[in-house]
Amino acid sequence: MRKPLIAGNWKMNLLRDSSVALIHQLLDKSKASDKVEVAVCPPSVYLHDVGAALRGSHIALGAQNMYHTDEGAYTGEVSGKMLKDIGCRYVILGHSERRQLMGETDTQVNQKVHAALKVGLVPIVCVGETLDQREAGQTTTVVRTQCEGSLAGLTSEQAAGIVLAYEPVWAIGTGKTASPAQAEEVHADIRALLTKMFGADTAQKVRIQYGGSVKADNAKELLSQPNIDGALVGGASLKADSFLPIIDAAG
């Protein structure tokens, strides 16, 4: 049985005091459960403070990006080794904002996935099509190409431990959500691809989150789909009142 993962992607939002205050609210109003795993991914400058507020709790710490080598002359970058050192369990890789705004390619995402696994981080690998691609009937091809490129060279054992996030770009931050049927269709296709790449046992172990305007009122139906194993949540993860009901919907 796959345990759903609800992860909050704070993006470039919240300052230190509001970040720590949000953690206190989440910890006050939620408790550990065998049915759902929870993580928050603050900006890297606040990983330390958020990690300290989370220490010993049921909520895991994640980062939003990393560089693919452990150390060296890479001004402005942060390595997986550093993220691990500061207490991260997860790292989001290949988010569509990074693919679109910073030009990240599948090859770069793949290097990061290998580097994350090497230091014991769990990568949350994001894939998803744009509106134009969906309307042109290219969703399956785009998502399959991203998965194949981003996961190239992994062993089945490594693949079993990663998390994928299907995030249709047209649904991110727009208030438009894929319908549960639209999302499930892509999730099932990703699982079929994983079966082809890594075998059925491995494919059944990989958690595939949905992301894109997940809110309290649509979470339950999305999360009840057979191949949807949690959510990557942007906007609604910035307030306890909107994030907690999504966690409850998974539990």
As annotated, the active-site residues are: 95, 167
Q: How far is the CB of 18 from ligand PEP (least distance, A)?
A: 17
Closest CB to ligand PEP among residues 36, 124: 124
Closest CB to ligand PEP among residues 81, 230: 230
User: Which residue's CB comes closest to ligand PEP?
Assistant: 234
9 makes contact with ligand PEP (CB under 6 A)? yes
Single out the segment in contact with ligand PEP by CB under 6 A; choices: 33-41, 155-163, 193-201, 212-220: 212-220
235 makes contact with ligand PEP (CB under 6 A)? yes
Single out the segment in contact with ligand PEP by CB under 6 A; choices: 79-87, 197-205, 231-239, 242-250: 231-239
Closest CB to ligand PEP among residues 172, 244: 172
In the block, which residue shows the tokens 């009840």? 224
Among residue numbers 140 through 169, which ones bind ligand PEP (CB under 6 A)? Answer: 167
- Classify the C-alpha dihedral 202-185-133-43 as positive or negative: negative
φ, ψ of residue 104 to 5 degrees: the values are -65, 135
The length of the chain in residues reads: 251
Among 212, 218, 227, 228, binds ligand PEP (CB under 6 A): 212
173 makes contact with ligand PEP (CB under 6 A)? yes
Q: Can you state the angle between helices 240-250 and 216-223, rounded to 10 degrees? A: 20
Return d(Cα 133, Cα 114) in angstroms, integer. Answer: 28
The closest of 120, 18, 22 to 66, measured between CA atoms, is 120
* Angle CA 50–55–66, to nearest 5: 50
List CB contacts of 85: < 8 A, sequence separation 6 or more.
Answer: none
Among residue numbers 182 through 211, which ones bind ligand PEP (CB under 6 A)? Answer: 211
The closest of 132, 137, 162 to 150, measured between CA atoms, is 162
214 makes contact with ligand PEP (CB under 6 A)? yes
Among 65, 79, 108, 213, binds ligand PEP (CB under 6 A): 213
DSSP H helices in the chain: 16-29, 47-54, 80-85, 96-101, 106-118, 131-135, 139-150, 156-160, 180-198, 200-205, 216-223, 240-250
Structure tokens at 13: 């939002």
Closest CB to ligand PEP among residues 197, 216: 216
Among 232, 240, 246, 247, binds ligand PEP (CB under 6 A): 232
Closest CB to ligand PEP among residues 8, 80: 8
For ligand PEP, the binding residues (CB under 6 A) are 9, 167, 172-173, 211-214, 232-236
